[in-house]
Structure 1
Amino acid sequence: MSDVRLSRPGLLAPLRRRGFRRLVAGQVLSTLGDMVFAVSLPFIVLRTGDAKDLAVLLTLLGVGRVAGAPLGGLLADRWSPRKVMLVADLGRAAVLLWLITSGSLLAFGAGIVLLGLLEGLFLPAYWAIMPTLLDEEELAGGNAVGEGLMVLAAMAGPLIGGIAMASMSTGAVLAVNAATFAVSAATLLAVRPHRPAPVAAPAGTGFWAFARGSRLLIAVLFMAAMSQLTSTAMMNVALPIYLDRHFDDGQRVYGLLLGAQGAGLLLGTLAAGLVWRLRRRGHLALGLLVADGLVLTAFPRLPGLLAPLAAMVVLGLVAGVLSVVALTLVQRISPAEILGRVMAAFTAVTIAAFPVAAVVIGVIVTRQGPESAFVVGGIGVLAVSAIGAAQRAIRNA
């Protein structure tokens, strides 16, 4: 018997849903605006502050995201994901317009905290709205298409952001970003659920009982956090330091490698919609984690430039597949009335893990060098795969 479930809808089937198309179009635009802002932020801050101010503001942005996620999930369950997303988009547009007129670094810092908080509100609501727009069998394809388009926007954003900062004033850049959120809110007003939203559950009802009783949810959350701890931070901390030490043009090589990773991420994200049709998804996910760990461990020993480029494509592909599979799995196993809170936990775990990982990897790089950090990270990913293999819930996912 084939391992492929041929009855499943195609990868592009979700695009037949008008609500899904409108949602994704708006979010691609706001993601593009986000990336333009992310590229612009360091230069905006450095015009009036210094590197320490920038580090503080980036930390505040991350803290705001982590703090906003639980509240966003709770409100999505009590109100509706769509209402929470509208508040978050309109709120971010208002904050950005306010930042245009604020002249002090302190005011800018307050705005950054609010932007992080509103982004944290938005993310779990965005993931929780998907099951109301698509049939259950379309979720994987919808997540794959949506995340794939987000990756494209994220790849284009830095280029557009660099051009914008070179040719536009700070106020104009912020105004453009505010406009993307306003348009995103307008698309949300036109979104109508394909399936009725669940009856709102009282605050605090059901989530902890479900979390305690679902080994699969706990396993997925743990593996997502550990993968973030051991793998993602490598690309932002250990990799640039390694390249700076081993290549004369380390900055150019870093850009090429990130481009290769982005290509792999896009490919993996789209492929995940097809991977979901396989029966043994858990085994495949564990195998991909093993490949990820082996590539990380071997990375410092790869010769020349082509081999590291190929390795980055593999790392991106693995990340793309696993992110969509994990997201779809959590959406499908979670009761509809608490899905917002479950997605908030998923969001908070992945967001909070990164700064912790950056500190840990930074300490290893400082004391032992970037090569040791890659080895430790690779072993960490292999350990995560071993822990996952010991969980029946993961193997049978």
Structure 2
Amino acid sequence: MRSFRNLLINREYARLWRGQAISTVGDYVFDTTLTLWVATEVVKGKSWAPSAVSGVLLAVGAAVLLVGPVAGVFVDRWSHKKIMLNTELIRAAVVAAVLLLSLIPLEDLPVGLWLGCIYLAVFVLNAAGQFFSPARFAAVGALVPGEADRARAAGLGQATTGAASILGPPLAAPLLFSVGVQWAMAVNLVSYLCSYAATRSVRFPPSQDTSTVVTDPGSSAVRRWSQDFLSGLRHFAGNRLLVALLASAVITQMGTGALNTLNVFFATGNLHASPGQFGFVSMSFGVGAIGGALVGGHAVGRLGARKATWLGLIVSGLLVCAYSRQSVFVVAVVLLMLVAVPVAALNAAMTPLLLESTPPEYLGRVVAVFNPVNELAYMLSAGVAGWLASTGLAHFGGRVAGMTFGPVDTIFTASGIMIIIAGCYAFFALPRERTAVATPLEAKA
């Protein structure tokens, strides 16, 4: 029991983590249930059903790209604890509304109206998440001191998400098909309320309960927001470490987006697996991510955050290249699990670097730049990979040095090379010296 408390770093972070763990499992149950519900009931038998399901993903992406940059300014102005509490209540209310709507028989409303309501709910849920995530990120920085402990906190967060990705989806299908969609929604509703209770019990430092952004009271609201937003962009652009981290992340996303998009085709084509076996492929990555997240703090403590970042990228890229050459299912599953370990570890390493180089009053805006830009890079990568596999490289094939290349494995090899390039770039671009956090007065100068 004592070792478990030590794993959770301190009492206040443990309470914050507990709320996140419950909420994340509920999110995975809800997301999977909603996708299955749309595909198997709302648009059942429609030729355009795949497009209807993809609309859910587009609603998520739209929330990140449209709301994320706007949210950063307000996260820096408002109490982080209040933001997390209010957004959990908003998300609980949205899920409750969808739950009540789902009690209406499907045939009583037009399909277009059902889809419109679902897309709107998904957009609002993820828009609220654009306020919650940077507020929670800033809260971790305030509750957890020290590079190694912050890396451990980031690793625990990722391990929780990885565990939820393994536990949540298998719970969703039985709930939907045995007791109905309403019970899966009720699980998510209760998870948000539990997260609210856990977050409310956290005792934050006084600085977390007041605004850290000083604005001109004589300016209009739009002008004040614009000034704060541009101030955040100037701070970001003037910080070598932040620019290098973002560039490394974008280059990496150009590789990982293709991997996630085409992995099902690689499994069924190159690995000769059945569609039912693809679940083991996804699960292997989740298991590896949990392991990598848990060792991330130890890696940072031993290697330092900078070295753990560029080394993790290079190792990940090499493993992706090795994965792209596989034709044996079991070997590929093991390799993909190994790919996830350095990926999760380097994500844990990036967190203390971000917190160390960013003044508290700019954290919301920094995260609001990182998340949308990374989401855009991921979407572009996924789109380009899908286009190449279906048109540009659809009939590609050949042998080089005794190895056979086809469309998907060629794209995966290129993805691994992109990730290696990101690691090499991070090696040269990340500052070797400590980046001091500017004081509020210096940050505004």
Give TM-score scaled by structure 2 length.
0.81
Paired with 2:89 and 2:328, the residues of 1 have a C-alpha distance of 48
Q: 1:224 to 1:11 in 2, by over 3 A?
A: farther
Paired with 2:249 and 2:21, the residues of 1 have a C-alpha distance of 24
- CA drift of 1:267 comes to 0.9
- CA drift of 1:392 comes to 4.8
1:128-179 CA distance string (max 9 Å, x none): 1112222235322222223222321222111111221122212222122111
Q: 1:147 to 1:11 in 2, by over 3 A?
A: farther
The 3-state SS of whatever aligns with 2:204 is: coil
Q: 1:132 to 1:281 in 2, by over 3 A?
A: closer
Paired with 2:263 and 2:327, the residues of 1 have a C-alpha distance of 15
Aligned-partner residue type, residue 39 of structure 1: T
Aligned-partner residue type, residue 72 of structure 2: G
Q: 1:371 to 1:14 in 2, by over 3 A?
A: closer
State the partner residue of 2:23. Answer: 30
Q: Does 1:214 align with 2:214?
A: no
1:281-331 CA distance string (max 9 Å, x none): 433432322222222223232242332122112210011101111122101
Q: Does 1:152 align with 2:163?
A: yes
Indicate conservation of the 8 Å contact 2:236/2:242, yes or no. Answer: yes
Paired with 2:310 and 2:359, the residues of 1 have a C-alpha distance of 26
Q: Does 1:165 align with 2:159?
A: no
Matches within 5 A, 1:131-280: 131-137=141-147, 138-194=149-205, 196-197=207-208, 199-202=211-214, 203=225, 204-205=227-228, 206-234=231-259, 236-280=260-304
The 3-state SS of whatever aligns with 1:106 is: helix
Q: 1:163 to 1:328 in 2, by over 3 A?
A: farther
Paired with 2:238 and 2:157, the residues of 1 have a C-alpha distance of 30
- CA drift of 1:271 comes to 0.7
Q: Does 1:99 align with 2:107?
A: no
1:250-285 CA distance string (max 9 Å, x none): 324422222221121111111111111135543343
Paired with 1:257 and 1:286, the residues of 2 have a C-alpha distance of 26
Paired with 1:352 and 1:190, the residues of 2 have a C-alpha distance of 36
Indicate conservation of the 8 Å contact 1:240/1:250, yes or no. Answer: no
The 3-state SS of whatever aligns with 2:301 is: coil
Paired with 1:248 and 1:157, the residues of 2 have a C-alpha distance of 27
State the partner residue of 1:4. Answer: none
The 3-state SS of whatever aligns with 1:53 is: helix
State the partner residue of 2:74. Answer: 75
Give RMSD over aligned pairs. Answer: 2.3
Paired with 1:43 and 1:80, the residues of 2 have a C-alpha distance of 37
Unaligned runs of 5+ in 2: 44-48, 102-108, 215-224, 394-406, 436-445
Paired with 1:173 and 1:190, the residues of 2 have a C-alpha distance of 26
Indicate conservation of the 8 Å contact 2:267/2:329, yes or no. Answer: no
More off after superposition, 30-39 vs 43-52: 43-52
Q: Does 1:126 align with 2:136?
A: yes
Paired with 2:206 and 2:270, the residues of 1 have a C-alpha distance of 55
- CA drift of 1:384 comes to 1.6
Q: 1:283 to 1:132 in 2, by over 3 A?
A: closer
The 3-state SS of whatever aligns with 1:390 is: helix
Aligned-partner residue type, residue 38 of structure 2: V
Indicate conservation of the 8 Å contact 2:309/2:426, yes or no. Answer: no
Aligned-partner residue type, residue 63 of structure 1: A
Aligned-partner residue type, residue 356 of structure 1: L
Aligned-partner residue type, residue 366 of structure 2: V
State the partner residue of 1:6. Answer: none
Paired with 1:66 and 1:32, the residues of 2 have a C-alpha distance of 24
Paired with 2:145 and 2:307, the residues of 1 have a C-alpha distance of 25
Paired with 1:114 and 1:382, the residues of 2 have a C-alpha distance of 37
The 3-state SS of whatever aligns with 1:249 is: coil
Paired with 1:370 and 1:72, the residues of 2 have a C-alpha distance of 37
Q: Does 1:294 align with 2:318?
A: yes
Paired with 2:255 and 2:292, the residues of 1 have a C-alpha distance of 19
Unaligned runs of 5+ in 1: 1-9
Give TM-score scaled by structure 1 length.
0.90
Indicate conservation of the 8 Å contact 1:300/1:374, yes or no. Answer: yes
Aligned-partner residue type, residue 48 of structure 1: V
More off after superposition, 221-230 vs 195-204: 195-204
Indicate conservation of the 8 Å contact 2:64/2:371, yes or no. Answer: no
1:52-94 CA distance string (max 9 Å, x none): 2111222112211332322332222101221111222111111
